[in-house]
Chain A
Amino acid sequence: MTWDETWYDEDSGPLVRLYARTGNGAPTGAPDDFELNALISRGAHPASAELSPVESVILRLVVVPLSVSEIAAEVDLPLGAVRTLLRGLHDGGLIEVRRPADSMPHVLEQLLTGLRSL
């Protein structure tokens, strides 16, 4: 068996570990509204300086409403970690969550109107 002694740059692994990038602690596992396809958009409250870099990135991303799974892909974090971050942002009024079910009647109504106008 060989024992490698040195790892340069990327080979040395992420400098900031995943658990540290999610900010304040581990996922809590509490049930909530943050399903994979729930839509997240920017809330009314202004951002404070206490946000972690990942949280700032998320806030910039959701200027356009984005699903939870898309956000996870953008920031390259596990879903559980993203849900925890979103929970914190939601508690602070920084984001709003729209359940996919909420948007369905609206979409169907539009579809119906579109079909009628044909």
Chain B
Amino acid sequence: MKARLGVALLAVLWAAATVPAVATAVRIVSERAAADRMTPLIGRAVLALEAERRLSVAARPGRSAVPAGFAAQRSRTDQAGEMLRRAADGWASRVRATEETRAADALVRRMTGLPALRAAVDDGRMERRTALDSYTGIIGSPLGDSALTRTRELLSEEDALLAAAAGAARLTDADRLRLAELAGARRTLQATAAVTPPAADRLRSMEDALILRPGPVPDGWSPAFNTANTALWDTRTEAAREARDDSTPYAVAAIAWACLVGGAGLIAVVAVLMYVRRFTRRAPAPATVPEAAAAGVAAPEAGPGLDALLRDLERRNQSLVHRLLRLLDGLARHESDDETLGELFRADHFANRIRRNLEKAIMLAGDLPGRRWSRPVPLADVVRAAASEVPEFERVSTSRIAPVHLTGAAVTGTMHLLAELIENATTFAPAQTRVRVTGEPAPAGYEVTVADVGPGMTEDDLATAYAVLSDPSPRPGGTWWGLYATGRFAERLGIEVRLRNAPGGGLEASVIIPAALLVDAEVAAAVPDDATGEIPAIAGGVGRL
């Protein structure tokens, strides 16, 4: 009963830590996804509505003369509105509301008023100015209230106003008053946004002339407006894209953190469950393990059902980490920004360390991890893979490994064995010092040496270390767990591990790999298809160093 309660508590703790981390990552990712998807659709709808507004209010002497493309523009507007409505519906129901989805929803709602407005425009009941304001009301400001965005929207409204007046001999006083308002507001915002669109001076002088003296709209207005409008639109799109790119490292960090908290926590829960299970199995020899008496109580509850459940969790975790690493690999290969690439590499390193812990737990429980090799693999790659699994992999030098291949079946075990010794070395040697891993043929097979410049070990510690290496069960307290795992992996593969203080100081761990686990580099080279995905030149180049 106690064990079950403990496990439940652990699971609750894990969930408490994981849920906020995952929720943050999901929120950031879904916000970005929504922004990526919604913003272009909103932009398209806004531009379509502006074009329709201009055509609808354009002066048409004689109601029969419908401007060319009027019907086509309406259908384009409808199409843009329909795409936005579908996207907004899809997103709103699936992810939490973001600024973009709310803006899209509101715009879609406002656009339901379009048919009535169009009918009024068509039978000519409506004043052009009223129609203009109605369209402006429907458009609103769904792209945000930034000075840059509003500058462009106000300019577009000015253009529509002038289009409405173009046919008349001159602007009415009301038109000029409205133009003065719009132009004033736009210039203020333009200064706030610190942008000067091309043709700004021409626009300004034409505005001033129209406001001061009643007169026809000059021919130069439309080209100047189009130039400025396009430039402002591009600037706004670019600014939005930059703002989004700036947030990429945060998004990557949030995802990495969620993976770390979720993955590491789950591993801890699984590891504790396995620990309980192993003690339960070893219950017949309680004399050496005092805790077994307490754990034994849980024996009737931890039956085959729990066993299957734990194995299923293991499999799922492995599969998830596998997919996460594959994803990170793809992201890193396509990333052109150095800073983001650095963040991706850090996330990759975390995920790789999670995989190491997971595979270690599986192997200590006597199972085989999901990654397997059927063909020989260059030992230099196995050593580098081992070094990359420890927290401070930058301190590890692996440049002197005489070429040899390891049989596929021994890859995972040898890699994690070396990782334990390398991590020990980086932990106990002073920070900033290097840990050197070298390899050369030895009488019994091949010898890999992990050497640090730390304080070494006392005779007592060395004796304890050898005892731990050959002990089938771990000691309480975490101090010797790394060496315990080393011993288990070594025993399974028939590898011998020797520890000694180097004459010049520091500890040297020798790993003697038996000849049965080795394949000559030449023989392995005859095996087609390099199994590691490395380019062959790298494996071949090691020998010449």
Contact = CB atoms under 8 A, between A and B. Distances in A.
Interface string B321-358: 01001100100111111110111011011001000000
B384 interface: yes
Contacts of A4: 319, 322, 370
A75 B535 contact: yes
Contacts of A78: 332-336, 341
A79 B529 CA distance: 26
Interface in A50-83: 50-54, 56-57, 60, 74-76, 78-81, 83
Interface residues of A, number: 43
Interface in B475-520: none
Contacts of B316: 3
Contact of A16 (B322, B326, B384): B384
A29 B396 CA distance: 23
Contacts of A29: 337-339, 342
B333 A7 contact: no
B385 A79 contact: no
A56 B348 CA distance: 24
B374 interface: yes
Given A27-B345, A28-B342, A80-B341, A17 B315 contact: no
Interface in A1-39: 3-10, 12-22, 24-29
A18 B332 CA distance: 8
B477 to A, nearest CB: 31
B534 A50 contact: no
B532 A24 contact: no
Given A29-B342, A50-B399, A15 B377 contact: yes
Given A51-B545, A83-B338, A15 B370 contact: no
A7 B348 contact: no
Given A20-B385, A56-B541, A76 B338 contact: no
Given A5-B318, A5-B370, A57-B538, A15 B381 contact: yes
A107 interface: no
A112 interface: no
A50 B395 CA distance: 12
Contacts of B375: 9
B284 interface: no
Interface residues of B, number: 60
Given A10-B533, A52-B399, A57-B541, A15 B385 contact: yes
B400 interface: yes
A115 interface: no
Given A9-B375, A53-B380, A15 B411 contact: yes
Interface string A74-109: 111011110110000000000000000000000000
A44 interface: no
A13 B322 contact: yes
A20 B341 CA distance: 13
Contacts of B315: 3, 5
A21 to B, nearest CB: 8
Contacts of B342: 26-29, 80
A118 interface: no
A35 B532 CA distance: 30
B309 to A, nearest CB: 14
Given A4-B319, A13-B329, A29-B342, A79 B336 contact: yes
Contacts of B325: 13, 17
A78 to B, nearest CB: 6
Nearest to B351: A17
A24 B399 contact: no
Contacts of A74: 535
Contact of B345 (A15, A19, A51): A19
B319 A3 contact: yes
Interface string B514-545: 00000000000000010111110111011011
Contacts of B341: 26-27, 78, 80-81
B382 interface: yes
B544 to A, nearest CB: 8
Contacts of B382: 15
Contacts of B338: 27-29, 80, 83-84
B301 interface: no
Contact of B384 (A20, A60, A75): A20
B352 to A, nearest CB: 6
A4 B311 CA distance: 13
B438 to A, nearest CB: 10
B380 A5 contact: no
B368 to A, nearest CB: 8
Contacts of A84: 338
A26 B542 contact: no
A102 B342 CA distance: 30
Interface in B368-392: 370-375, 377, 380-382, 384-385, 387-388
Contacts of B538: 53-54, 57
Contacts of A79: 336
B534 A8 contact: no
Interface of A: 3-10, 12-22, 24-29, 49-54, 56-57, 60, 74-76, 78-81, 83-84
Given A9-B372, A13-B371, A80-B342, 10 more contacts: A9-B375, A12-B370, A13-B329, A16-B534, A18-B332, A26-B341, A27-B338, A49-B545, A56-B541, A56-B544
21 contacts: A6-B372, A7-B372, A9-B531, A10-B533, A13-B322, A13-B533, A15-B377, A15-B381, A16-B534, A17-B348, A17-B349, A17-B352, A20-B387, A22-B345, A27-B342, A49-B545, A53-B399, A56-B545, A75-B535, A78-B332, A81-B332
5 closest A-B pairs by beta carbon, nearest first, are A20-B388, A26-B342, A19-B345, A29-B338, A80-B341
